[in-house]
């Protein structure tokens, strides 16, 4: 599903992993490591789904096995989160295309293939490296500090024909143009303008004591932090003055000709920790492979070679991560981290490293950046400085494009209805390693997207078999077009491309059925959107549900942030099956271990029943208008009602438990929902949750998991810290209200 506001939901219960005897581990490992067979071989190995030869229970079990096999690949680390334009997404596309072909679908739809390929914009990229540069010249050697040490973390040239110190930013290490800036070349004096904030209502102006007009300004990310700063600004919450756009527009209003952004310590720490977690994860992968290698029989020579090669690949990845960590520790931002749309025409913006900025400050004032930032935070008083230097900033940015593909397979129609089409769709892309689409800020990790939307893609693949089976004896039925959409997470781009360039006429497309996030069925609660888009849909869905027996939550509207909307806006009736938002949405924790495969099997059945009836009924469904105002439904589960962030100390380092474990790291409350169990218990913003039911909280994920394991009316004993005061309170959990 495409991007939504951060939900306040909590984790559903986790699957229980069953132990397996050692000899079966060896066998499973050997099978997993064998060369990937043709998809047809895989389908042949999976349990058959024949109604004649199996009981209903056996059929569902076999269907679950098929779903699990598809999900295991689509949500695997190998596909690295299936980001649009990535190799992982391309591998997923090939897998789906092969699955369609092996299931007997017609796939020669686009020049003999199943891929509807097109290009989409993907932000910005750097142009010619020679046209991305930063040079700073000191005035009469002003760039040498009082200790006569050269500025660190920069390249210095010895060519000084005018006897001035020259500092050249190292592209990708100490200097990086940012996508929210313009392509431009500017020259002017360099000044440090604190946080770059002008806020008369707060009696605060970083530009009051420096001349910014015609200058390149260096500014800190975010806004003043600390006890006094919190009183004037808004506590741990950022005000509008902290936003990138606010800072850039204010710099332009002050007459600046260029902006150099310096990352803040908390964001730097989060980025470094994210890379550390990734390194630890990859190191763990090596250990696991080595354990598996020790179990291999001597004759498994080819498998051993492949796994040893895999270890080499992971080691190379770890080396690259270590290089990334070195850059991240200096606070250098990536080109798209602050946005990819130019804020002010003609105003170039770049990120510079903490060391580069600190060296410039120390050369001009004798104070490090740490010292200056601390002084601003403590006094809530600007400490802007003329750096006694001139700068030349040049940036060259280019729009980026990538090729990506919808994947189509056709079950041909028969008889008098063969000329009409039903579309069954599910997007197969996700958000890759994180970035703008992630709801885990600062995290660089594989977002497997098991529920979003490997679940929908897997149900799509299984529904091919079931629908073909149900229509096998029909003399007249509409053709069914199965589409795995790309770039849904980028704004429904795949489905929009299809409806703009349809393979079959839209006027003869009678309905679209969408599958998105169908893997987390809970309390037998299935949401169906689009019930009101045709007068025939409510009774149709009720008939289909007679066998599957879901507790249906029906939504009239045909709009919403998924691919069905693209069809509905073209006056095609739609249905959208959905099991609800959850706290793992667009986070690395959306993994296969939390998937309800029995629920997915039953959703395959209700989808197939709906489609097969639509395919054979003589009258095509009529179209009805519905309200655009639609809310995406949360899973019905208990909630505490707090928004959390990791606890960080004053220096921007993540808080850690003490050596004895008596003082847990905790998680900081950034907001409390009105009427929630937390509010009733007296929890306030800025409180630090330390323990729940006597269990120490190491991070915010602990809170999410502890609450997610509970039921309605369960009581939590919460130990929290409010300033220097330690408080114990209790909260009685309740079900999240319907939205």
Asked whether the beta carbons of 394 and 407 are under 8 A apart, the reply is no
Asked whether the beta carbons of 409 and 95 are under 8 A apart, the reply is no
pLDDT attached to residue 648: 55
Q: How many CA atoms lie within 13 A of 50 on its CB side?
A: 5
Phi-psi region of 230 (alpha: psi -120 to 50; beta: other; left: phi over 0): alpha
pLDDT attached to residue 29: 38
Asked whether the beta carbons of 345 and 169 are under 8 A apart, the reply is no
The fold adopted by the segment(s) 638-735 is Pdz3 Domain (2.30.42)
Residues 6+ apart with CB under 8 A from 284: none
Asked whether the beta carbons of 136 and 186 are under 8 A apart, the reply is no
Six-digit token pair at 550? Answer: 């879901």
Closest CA to 196 of 237, 232, 224: 224
Asked whether the beta carbons of 139 and 390 are under 8 A apart, the reply is yes
Q: What separation in angstroms does the CA of 510 have from each of 422, 467, 571?
A: 6, 17, 10
> What's the CATH class of domain 22-125+401-616?
alpha beta
Closest CA to 488 of 391, 560, 408, 412: 560
pLDDT attached to residue 5: 39
Which residue matches tokens 């497309």?
Answer: 509
Q: Residue 549's CB: how many other CB atoms inside 10 A?
A: 10
Q: E-assigned strands of 496-583?
A: 509-515, 525-529, 551-555, 574-578
Q: Is the dihedral of CA 414, 416, 419, 425 positive or negative?
A: negative
Residues 6+ apart with CB under 8 A from 5: none
Residues 6+ apart with CB under 8 A from 601: 60, 63, 64, 67, 462
d(CA 20, CA 23): 8
Name the 3-class secondary structure at 731.
Answer: strand
Q: What separation in angstroms does the CA of 735 have from each of 161, 681, 712?
A: 73, 16, 6
Six-digit token pair at 584? Answer: 């793992």
Residues 6+ apart with CB under 8 A from 600: 64, 67, 455, 458, 459, 462, 518, 519, 521
**pTM, rounded to two decimals:** 0.66
d(CA 412, CA 104): 10
Asked whether the beta carbons of 485 and 562 are under 8 A apart, the reply is no
Residues 6+ apart with CB under 8 A from 130: none
Which residue matches tokens 């693209």?
Answer: 566
> What's the CATH class of domain 129-263+331-395?
alpha beta
- With a cut of 50, list the residues of the chain below it in pLDDT: 5-51, 53, 141, 143-161, 649-654, 657-662
pLDDT attached to residue 303: 84
Name the 3-class secondary structure at 16.
Answer: coil
In DSSP terms, which residues pair with 732 in a beta bridge? 715
d(CA 648, CA 712): 32
Which residue matches tokens 């509970």?
Answer: 710
Angle between helices 22-33 and 265-295 (to 10 degrees): 110
Cis peptide before 453 (omega within 30 of 0): yes
433-440: long-range contacts, CB 8 A cutoff, minimum separation 24: 433/80, 433/81, 433/83, 434/81, 434/274, 434/588, 435/336, 436/336, 437/3, 437/489, 437/586, 438/586, 438/587, 439/6, 439/585, 439/586, 439/587, 440/586, 440/587, 440/588
């Amino acid at each position: 599903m495409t991007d939504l506001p951060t939900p306040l939901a909590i984790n559903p219960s986790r699957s229980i992993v069953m132990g397996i005897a050692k000899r079966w581990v060896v066998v499973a490992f050997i099978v997993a490591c064998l060369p990937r067979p043709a998809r047809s071989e895989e389908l042949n190995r999976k349990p058959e789904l024949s109604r004649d030869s199996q009981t209903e229970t056996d059929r569902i079990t076999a269907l679950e096995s098929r779903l699990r096999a598809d999900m295991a690949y689509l949500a695997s680390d190998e596909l690295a989160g299936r980001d649009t334009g990535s190799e992982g997404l391309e591998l997923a596309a090939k897998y789906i295309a092969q699955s369609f072909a092996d299931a007997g679908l017609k796939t020669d739809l686009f020049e003999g293939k199943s891929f509807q390929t097109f290009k989409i914009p993907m932000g910005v990229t750097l142009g010619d490296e020679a046209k991305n540069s930063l040079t700073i010249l000191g005035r009469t050697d002003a760039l040498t500090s009082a200790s006569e040490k050269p500025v660190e973390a920069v390249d210095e040239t010895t060519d000084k024909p005018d006897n001035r110190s020259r500092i050249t930013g190292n592209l990708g290490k100490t200097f990086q143009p940012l996508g929210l800036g313009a392509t431009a070349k500017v020259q002017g004096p360099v000044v440090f303008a604190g946080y770059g904030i002008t806020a008369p209502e707060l009696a605060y102006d970083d530009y009051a004591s420096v001349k910014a007009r015609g200058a390149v300004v260096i500014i800190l990310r975010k806004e003043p932090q600390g006890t006094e700063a919190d009183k004037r600004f808004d506590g741990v919450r950022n005000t509008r003055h902290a936003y990138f756009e606010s800072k850039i527009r204010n710099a332009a209003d002050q007459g600046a000709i260029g902006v150099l952004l310096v990352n803040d310590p908390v964001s730097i720490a989060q980025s470094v920790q994210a890379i550390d977690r990734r390194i630890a994860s990859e190191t763990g992968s090596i250990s696991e492979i080595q354990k598996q290698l020790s179990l291999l029989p001597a004759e498994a020579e080819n498998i051993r070679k492949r796994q040893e090669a895999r270890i080499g690949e992971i080691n190379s990845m770890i080396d690259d991560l270590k290089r990334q960590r070195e850059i991240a520790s200096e606070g250098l931002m990536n080109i798209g981290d602050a946005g990819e749309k130019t804020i002010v025409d003609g105003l170039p913006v770049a990120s510079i490293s903490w060391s580069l900025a600190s060296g410039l400050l120390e050369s001009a004032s004798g104070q490090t950046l740490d010292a200056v930032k601390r002084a601003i935070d403590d006094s809530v008083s600007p400490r802007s400085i003329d750096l006694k230097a001139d700068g030349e900033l040049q940036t060259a940015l280019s729009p980026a494009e990538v090729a990506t593909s919808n994947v189509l397979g056709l079950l041909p129609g028969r008889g008098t209805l063969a000329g009409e089409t039903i579309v069954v769709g599910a997007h197969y892309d996700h958000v890759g390693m994180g970035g703008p689409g992630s709801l885990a800020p600062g995290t660089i990790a594989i977002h497997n997207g098991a529920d979003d939307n490997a679940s929908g893609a897997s149900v799509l693949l299984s529904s091919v078999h079931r629908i073909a089976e149900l229509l096998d004896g029909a003399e007249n039925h509409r053709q069914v077009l199965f589409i795995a959409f790309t770039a849904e997470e980028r704004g429904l781009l795949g489905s929009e491309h299809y409806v703009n360039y349809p393979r079959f006429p839209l006027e003869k497309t009678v309905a679209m059925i969408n599958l998105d996030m169908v893997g987390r069925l809970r309390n037998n609660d299935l949401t169906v959107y689009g019930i009101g888009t045709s007068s025939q849909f409510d009774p149709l869905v009720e008939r289909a549900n007679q066998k599957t027996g879901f507790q249906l939550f029906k939504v009239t509207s045909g709009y919403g942030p998924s691919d069905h909307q693209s069809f509905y806006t073209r006056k095609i009736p739609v249905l959208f099956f959905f099991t609800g938002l959850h706290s793992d949405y667009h986070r690395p924790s959306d993994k296969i271990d939390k998937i309800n495969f029995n629920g997915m099997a039953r959703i395959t059945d209700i989808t197939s029943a709906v489609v097969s009836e639509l395919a054979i009924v003589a009258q095509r469904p009529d179209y009805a208008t519905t309200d655009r105002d639609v809310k995406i439904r949360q899973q019905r589960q208990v909630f505490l009602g707090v928004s959390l962030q990791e606890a960080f100390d004053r220096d921007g380092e993540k808080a850690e438990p003490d050596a004895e474990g008596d003082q847990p790291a905790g998680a900081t409350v950034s907001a409390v929902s009105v009427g929630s169990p937390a509010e009733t218990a007296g929890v306030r913003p800025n409180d630090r949750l330390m323990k729940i039911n006597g269990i120490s909280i190491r991070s915010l994920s602990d809170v999410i998991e502890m609450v997610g394991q509970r039921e309605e009316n369960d009581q939590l004993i919460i130990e929290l810290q409010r300033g220097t005061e330690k408080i114990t309170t209790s909260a009685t959990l309740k079900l999240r209200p319907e939205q």
